[in-house]
A and B are shown apart, each in its own frame.
Chain A
Amino acid sequence: MPASAVSDRSAERAEVTQPAVRIEHLSKTYQGTSRPAVDDLSLTVEEGQIFTLLGPSGCGKTTTLRIIAGLEVADTGSIHFGGRPVVDSSRGLSLQPDKRGIGMVFQSYAIWPHMTVAQNVAFPLKAQKYPRAEIADRVARALALVGMDGYQKRPGPLLSGGQQQRVALARALAPEPRVLLLDEPFSNLDAKLREQMRLEVKLLQKRLGIAVVFVTHDQVEALSLSDQIAIMRDGRIQQLGRPLDLYEAPSNEFVRDFVGKTVLFRGSVEAVDSSGELTVVLSGSECRVTGRSSVGASMGVGTPVHLGVRPEDIKIASAALPPDPAGAIAGIAHTALFVGERVEYQVEVPGQDAIVIYGTRYEPIPEGSGVWLKLRGTSHSVWRAEAADSTE
């Protein structure tokens, strides 16, 4: 796409309110398998938004991304980029990947080893017929965006992992695509570099205002980078929302356990008020806690439930200190593990499974001593306890 299309597209963005990517009823089953890899999936990515597909391996997130890119063909469904149809199974339409105007960064970066950095980044510009006079300039600008300006003549194989990733990003951004696709781009980097790149990509995206579809299995990455997250499992979206919504109000057990850690207390429903708020009495104690069921299931009095609390919402204090009996749970801290940024206590509470609570290193609690656990916040999530009590 030649340069003049850039201004056309900004004008497009201003006047048209079409989402950057709209997927409707996408399905794909691989030959020889019975379960669909992608099962009736629909989602919308707005302009300038980072949209993340999060899930365990095999959930269909990478397949979805590849269908968006045109590297796989869906069985049914449609995909529109800014209102333009790119995939439409009812018309037998599936645009070739080179015609979709996307940029993509692969998990392995896919830097071409027989080309220099400049040749790598220039490749999409040449393929999309940018005027020759402009190419060197655009390459320099793209490299400057990712902090690799000056590396033009470096041969591809002589780059470190982090450098390859930046060049891959520059190559994807050089032709100013309307959608950027990232396939687990940070998973091959060491922890420190990963954090650094996360921040850089987020800043870059805000600066360019480009829509991003991001695939990862790392929930920390998803929470920190995304505007919207779709958690997937077995080809279907389990929950779609903002990171905070997914964290505070997971809609099912799978989402609850995939995003962040949860401490589960066993108990039963004692009372239900008119607004649906439940009073739960915890097994093995007199402690009463209020909460809501995010699933929306109605639970009558006496229903066995799990109360889900994020570990950072539980305060642990030595039993030697004056307890606040209201809402405090008694227990014994059996082991204390110092892991650097916190101390992890394995606490045994009568009537409950062993749970792990976090404390700080400033108020150490000796192993084997009694503790009080106090829950922060007034409303917690309540889950029906099934007979098969697994968290998977």
Chain B
Amino acid sequence: MTATILVLGVYLIYPIVILLILSFDTARDILVGPSHWGLSNWINAWKTPGLLVSLWNSFLIWFLVAAISLPIAIAISLVLARTNIPFSHAIEVVFWIAFIFPPLASTFGWIMLAQPTYGFLNKLLDLLPFIHGSPLNIYSIPGIVWARLMGAGIAFKVILLTPAFRNMDGALEDAGRAAGASRIRTLLRVTVPVMASPIVLVLALQLVTVFQGFETEYLLGSEFNFYVYSTKIYQLVTLSDVPQYSQAIVLASVTLLIIAIIIPIQRWVTTRRPYTTITSSFRPTLINLGRWKWPTFGVVALVLFVLTGLPALVLIVGSFMERVGFFNTTPLWTTMHWTNVFTDPQFTSALLTTLIVSVVAGVASPIIFSLLAYMIVRTRWRGRSLLDSIIWGSAAMPGILLGLGLLLMFLITPGLKVLFGTIWVLMIVIIAAGATTGVNVLKGVFVQLGASLEEAGRVSGAGWIRTYVRVVIPVLMPSMVLVGMLSFVAAANTTSSIILLASQNTQTLATLALTIGSPANGQLEEAGILSLIILVLSLGVALPMRSLARRMGVRHDLRIDASETLHV
């Protein structure tokens, strides 16, 4: 137990401590020279343009995304769960796909659609007689909000809320109707208040995602000098001529302080669970849409198409254009970009790295997390609530902040420098980044299963290891497959946690795409292809694994999983 806490502590606490300490080091070059301790970093920080603004921007984007996505998600979930919309099961599967859909692919797709002048949509709209110029500009605050919404913003909430709405005790509503209330009245007076709890839960989870955007803001924001907290740090550390570590560190420290306030609030809200998890055998009667059935289906299908099919389609089409958005090039269509990608050694190296890291994460994570979950739930060891808190808190840490702390840790601590830039670092970072979700999913399963299966193994004469291997893991297997799948997909998609740590040789597909597709490099087509490959990888693993887990009999529903998921 102590060893585990030490290891996790080194990964999580040491970088934070370093960040906080170094914020008071006012030497010119903190990596090299002797340290001067003082407050000048903090004082100067407020004067530096853009530092405070970036924090504000983070909140702004977060608020807009949350405010818009929530009503839409509630409406969609209500339709899915409480009406007789056709193909509701298939719709849920596609929302799951939307959830898995890589944010990079989504962003690149929308850039191709809505970049000023050359975006497909702008070109289309320009054909209309009453429109001149390009009305849509993805490089704007609305553009960023839109791209985030198109990412997992809506899909995530739908996945959470639909089962909650569906599992509502039908008897509550029947009682309302029997008392003489009309359908609408029942909906407003009974359904919505009861459903308030999962909605509050979703909002609380959203709270932690304030500082977690990165790729979308980076690709879109730098075009109009718009920075959020994470992209500001990236800019300070990587993109300036001289790395502005001190400023980045102060920014990171301020963020840490804010997070330190948010975490307990969020923890308090999510663990209070003011409602009882209702699983009654009487499902509420479905509202009959009548002649609105197909129109409603059409609307939902359109939403899904916009979330998933449209960006994918655009990426494919764009990748075959000589220059995406330009319809006057000769030749217009070409396979040049595809050839470029596949013959580029950087690409093959990135693909290999991605595969290695993702597969290792997908296999090792469930095993490690099951052991951690076991330690927290099944043992009486003294450190276990500390372990639980560390794991919970780690999710609130934005990837870039951890990346920064680890970067500094590697550069400053003698002996660790050799690890910097290796694939091992990436693997450790990626596995640890998924710990909160994975451990909490498996904790839930342990609690639900109860201890008797394992105890029966022990009293039958099997030692601890034999029991764990022969009884615990097989019973846990469906959930472990699920966790492994989530870990694989997260590993293939993650950027913010590893972008400061990846070296030339250890790029993943995601970091490579981010680099070459950035406004500075502008190889949009190749970046689109790379993100398509990530999409194929993600779906290729996620869908079969999901049906495998379902066939094995995943006992808990996705609501519980997703409620612990903090959107990466």
Contact = CB atoms under 8 A, between A and B. Distances in A.
Interface of A: 31, 69-71, 96-104, 106-108, 110, 112-114, 123-124, 127-128, 168, 171-172, 175, 181
A98 B456 contact: no
B455 A97 contact: yes
Contact of B460 (A107, A123, A181): A123
Contacts of A69: 455, 459
Contact of A128 (B452, B461, B471): B461
B450 interface: yes
A104 B456 contact: yes
Contact of B457 (A101, A102, A123): A123
Nearest to B380: A31
Contacts of A100: 459
B462 interface: yes
Contacts, number: 69
Nearest to A106: B452
A175 B474 CA distance: 23
Nearest to B457: A123
B414 interface: no
B471 A112 contact: yes
Given A97-B455, A124-B462, 7 more contacts: A70-B459, A98-B460, A110-B456, A114-B477, A127-B461, A127-B466, A175-B461
B470 interface: yes
Contact of B463 (A98, A123, A171): A98
A181 B456 CA distance: 12
A113 B475 contact: yes
Contacts of A172: 460
Interface residues of B, number: 19
Contacts of A114: 474-475, 477
Nearest to A71: B455
B459 to A, nearest CB: 4
B458 A96 contact: yes
Contacts of A171: 456, 460
B458 A112 contact: no
Interface of B: 380, 450, 452-453, 455-463, 466, 470-471, 474-475, 477
A97 B460 CA distance: 8
Nearest to B450: A108
Contact of A98 (B450, B452, B453, B458): B458
Contact of A112 (B380, B456, B463, B477): B456
A224 to B, nearest CB: 26
A98 B459 contact: yes
Nearest to A183: B452
Given A106-B452, A123-B470, A98 B461 contact: yes
B interface secondary structure, majority: helix
Given A112-B475, A114-B475, A127-B466, A97 B450 contact: no
A272 B456 CA distance: 57
Nearest to A128: B461
6 smallest CB-CB distances across A and B, nearest first, come from A124-B460, A110-B456, A127-B462, A127-B461, A128-B461, A110-B452
Among B452, B455, B459, B463, the one with the most A-chain Cβ atoms within 10 Å of its Cβ is B459
A113 B454 CA distance: 12
Contacts of B453: 110, 112
Nearest to A108: B452
Contacts of A124: 460-462
Contact of B458 (A31, A97, A107, A175): A97
A85 to B, nearest CB: 18
Contacts of A99: 461
Contacts of B380: 31
10 contacts: A71-B458, A106-B455, A110-B453, A112-B456, A114-B474, A114-B477, A127-B462, A128-B460, A128-B461, A171-B460
A39 B211 CA distance: 54
Contacts of A123: 457, 460, 462, 470
Contacts of A106: 452, 455-456
Contacts of B461: 98-99, 101, 124, 127-128, 175
B285 to A, nearest CB: 31
B406 to A, nearest CB: 37
Nearest to B477: A114
A99 B464 CA distance: 11
A104 B461 CA distance: 11
A14 to B, nearest CB: 25
A92 B471 CA distance: 29
B452 to A, nearest CB: 4
